[in-house]
Chains A and B, each alone.
Chain A
Amino acid sequence: MAYVINGTEVEHDEEGYLTDINQWNPELALEIAKGQQLEMNDERWEVVNFLRNYYDEYQVAPAIRVLTKALAKTMGPEKSSNKYLYELFPYGPAKQACMIAGLPKPTGCV
């Protein structure tokens, strides 16, 4: 299974997570989002970029509880509530946003 970007195939698993996270690029994010019936806007990019930075620093995709806490610290309370995040990513912010960010499925995603 693969996403196709400009004629290049980028492999993903049965759920849609990239097999090799190093193959990610912003264009690919748009394509993954499209597959999730989501259109990328500034708010979604904010969360996706946040996740990528978090992964870069800690080598782990944060659990939702950790994500909301960390977002609250950097973006403020109105941009970190569960309600806000689920409006952006209806099938679960940790799951969907991580997929779009090209990261593995969050550890502890139950």
Chain B
Amino acid sequence: MSNIKKFLYLNRKAPYGSIYALESLEVVLIGAAFDQQVSLAFIDDGVFQLAKGQDTKSLGVKNFSPTFRALGDYGVTKLYVEQESLSERGLTAADLMPITYEDENDGFAEKPSINVVSRSELAGIMREQDVILSF
């Protein structure tokens, strides 16, 4: 009997201005310690959480975007980004931070964690989940 469930954290808000994005990331880090199958999805303004070159100096809050790059160490290797949300905001995959993980089953080869998927593909991914947490 396996107690491993598939968790998807759905991030839909801009990184700063509210606490949602940071709280989501903290819950992901805590949840990953329990050996569940965890993935993240970014839709709507949530795609800005992965934007390259974030600088929060003038906001006076911590820039937590580098923490996304630690997710691989926590066994979180799938970050889905919705193509439509990117396009609606004039963004492309090239505007996102490079995030990689080391595949233990493939000689620790570095592989990209970010997967840009269409709205309908993401709907399919969401149907496969046991638990979806929306932030």
* Contact in complex: A62, B70 (CB < 8 Å): yes
> Are A58 and B29 in touch, CB under 8 angstroms?
no
Asked whether A40 is an interface residue with its Cβ less than 8 Å from the other chain, the reply is: no
Q: Contacts A59-B62, A70-B73 given: A65-B33 contact, CB under 8 Å?
A: yes
Interface of chain B: mostly helix, strand, loop or mixed = helix
Instruction: Give the residue of B30, B63, B73 whose beta carbon is less than 8 angstroms from that of A66.
Output: B73
Q: A51-66 vs B: 1/0 string, CB under 8 Å?
A: 0001001111011011
Q: Are A63 and B69 in contact (CB under 8 A)?
A: no
Count of chain A residues with a beta carbon within 8 Å of a chain B beta carbon: 14
Q: Tell me the complex Cα distance, A52–B14, Å.
A: 28
Given A107-B29, A108-B33, verify A66-B67 contact (CB < 8 Å). Answer: no
| A53 → chain B closest CB, angstroms | 12
Q: What does the 1/0 interface line of A79-110 toward B look like (CB < 8 Å)?
A: 00000000000000000000000000001101
Give B residues with C-beta under 8 Å from A: 26, 29-30, 32-33, 62-67, 69-70, 73-74
A contact residues vs B (CB 8 Å cutoff): 54, 57-60, 62-63, 65-66, 69-70, 107-108, 110
